[in-house]
Structure 1
Amino acid sequence: MFFISIFLQLSLSAALASWSVSYKPRSICVFERSSVDFTCSFDYPSFQTLKTTKWFKPNKHQKQDGTQQGIFVHHSEAAEIDQLYKNRTVFANQDKNCSLQLYNVSKSDIGKYFFRLETNYYRGKYTGPGGIYLNVAVLPFRVTVTTQKVYGHIHEGDSVTLRCSTENCTPEQGPFAWFKNHLLLPQATENELQISSVSHNDFGNYSCGLKNSSMTSADELLLDVRYSPKNVEITILTSGKIEQGNSLTLICKSNANPAVTNYTWFKIRDGNISSIGFDCEFSIKAASQKDDGQYFCTAKNDMGSQNSTIIALKVEVPDRHFLLTATALLFFVIVVLLVLFGLNIRRKQITPKKQPTEQTPAVTVTEEIYENLRKSPESEESHTNLIYADLNLPSLTSDSLFYRSHSNSQEDDAVVYSLLSNKE
């Protein structure tokens, strides 16, 4: 009787040991609208026959330990599948392989999923304990920051962790991509970006997403690192050369977070340092030699202060001899130009205007009149009666004179003789 009892216990233990369901993994996080694989394997007593396989998800008001069946995600009888999961699942349908693939995941799919098998035996029913928990990551990505400090600002030297996450959970699939001020950080490929000792160079806007994917964070996170003034320098603003009489302005510039609240200007001359101003700008309206010297500024905020580098300021005095020479030369040129201008005006006033003259054609009339006088040889002392012949000359007009002067006719050049006779 004792041996029979031991045999029955061993047989019962062997029978119970043969019922099993293995899930892998026990928890899954996937993005919305993606697919998920529930990896599963099972076993049951070899002397029994498998009749029904099913995947179910308990309702919210039911126990989540698998003791209460809720919505059927998969069922060997297709009519039993819930309407929300029809045409969204693929069952492995292989011997002792109960893997299930679920498509187009949404927030409503969040919860626990269990596999259950039933055989031809009355008590041949088994649900794999524990199940698989499915969580759904709701986009967009978001960046969160954690530090060692529970409250307060992030200062230089603090340890900082930036985490790329989504609502509900963050899938471990990658690689991830990190961006600072829209520039890719090639070395950062995990969903967390750790900075062991943060500096002012880490100040900026950060975002994240999946590499080679359009899924990125909707909003950027400003990593607000507070630090004392850095890179303090002086800029000289002037309208020209630093010469005597010119104005100039010295500007104290720096990088700081929070912004600089206090500036101080110092001047070094003959080994003495004196404070000369308390603003970010120091202006000199009319520079002179008394402004020669070395200058530097100090920028200060709540985190600390820093001095700028020292600059030397030398005010140049213009060469008076050169200026006098140039002025005299200019004056001489002006005087010469005025004299020449006055002489030109006077010459125009003195010079008389020429009256227009009428041109009368020169006319030359060549007419020779010869007179033949005959005297009586007998007596020169006797009274002599002279008879004159009238000499009729053609009337001459200006037109005929002009014509005769230019004509070669012999008729115009005829000689008219008058015969004078003596009568006793």
Structure 2
Amino acid sequence: MPPPLANGAGLEVVQILVDLIDLVSCDGRVSFGSLCGILKKCHVGFSIVETLDSFASIAMVVFFVPSVLVSPSGEIVEGSSVNLTCSSDANPAATYTWYKENGNPDHEPFSAGPQLDLVSIQSSDSGEYYCTAENELGAKRSDSISINVKYGPKNTSVSVSPSGEIVEGSSVTLTCSSDANPAATYTWYKENGNPDRKPLKTGPQLDFVSIQSSDSGEYYCAAKNELGGNRFDSISINVKYGPKNTSVLVSPSGETVEGSSVTLTCSSDANPAATYTWYKENRTLHQGPEESYSFTSISSEDSGTYHCQSDNQYGQFNSSSLFIDVQYAPKVPSVLVSPSGETVEGSSVTLTCSSDANPAATYTWYKENEASPKASGQTFTITNFTSEHSGEYYCDARNPLGATNSSTHLIALAGKGTIYMNAARLTLIVLILITVFLLYLWIRKKKTLNSTTEPSDPVQTVQSDSDPEYENLTAALTEATEEQEDLV
């Protein structure tokens, strides 16, 4: 028998006689016509032992390639048990070694033995596997077989582009990715503000062309294929924006009464939170992070128009104006007398009362020691002033929050016509008295002359200052003069 060929493991040696005419080339080697088809799965080597006319004695060495069987056949699902079996016809029997082609650049052995058992196959076990069969006569390797492990989505994640701060009005894209075989489909959800968990969109990307503050919230995507599903933990989208919808609220609401505690509160929608500046008629009152501006005991001087301004690094916004109308009881009234100066009997006099009050006060006029009011209204006019009108007058100012009053004193003076009349009367009285006095003197003189014509009558000395009639006349003149002085 001829020695085995040196370039392969001899698995079987056959010596046959063939017709030289049938010698043909098969795969670059000399072989035997139809025998090439029969021995497709082997490598054939030969040597011519002897030649007899048209026949040759051929020593043929057959080398069989190992084969690999996968069990179970069909789709391989992650977690299942898979067995790979390597077989080859060899004598002496071959030894087997397993290799994983991808992920093993150095082609280090993966396992030894005719079987490779993957008890709970994982997605990482996917790849190209082959085995080698070897004995002392040589070695051959099998064709590679692909193991494609199918599995549901895992390691689902979301990325945000662009990264960093998200500003209102910018374009933002959320991208969902997942490790799955076959490839997963994706569905997007917004966690808060979507209690029914209705899908926002399907597909690996969720795009915001011009993102708004209302888009802030928690988002997640769900990845799914026929083998299962997986969701990503929520990602927070925090949209930054300048202040908007700034407004002022007054507390307590309703009427603002002097002396009460009042708080103004500025509210604004902003991210990050705004700082606030308070104004009264464009005069700055306060600036800071506090939303409130308080009056512990508000006064009438605090009445006016207020507004606040909110701002952050993205913008500012002014509130509409709010008018604070502080209401208070009437202050002490003041009284104006017109015309000013002395009040002359017979003239017209107008008294005007005014008081600072909110709401406006109503006025009532009184005269001292008289229960009934003299008049109502801000003014009180006496058209023909007499001495009877002289006295203390006061006005009462009141509104729903209180009342107060003020007084003034009026004195009647005689007019010029009365003075002239009284002077004429006194002059007449004086003339009458002088006439009476002169008549009296004439009568006295006549009596004296008559007495001198009668000698028998003693002479009487006239003492006019002790005469009762004289004294009465003198007293009358004095009284009349004093009355005139009083009238004037």
TM-score bucket (shorter structure): 0.3 to 0.5
Report which structure shows greater RCO (CA 8 Å, sep ≥6).
1
Greater per-residue strand proportion: 2
Q: TM-score normalised to the size of structure 2?
A: 0.37
Q: Rg bigger for which structure?
A: 2
Q: TM-score, normalised by structure 1?
A: 0.41
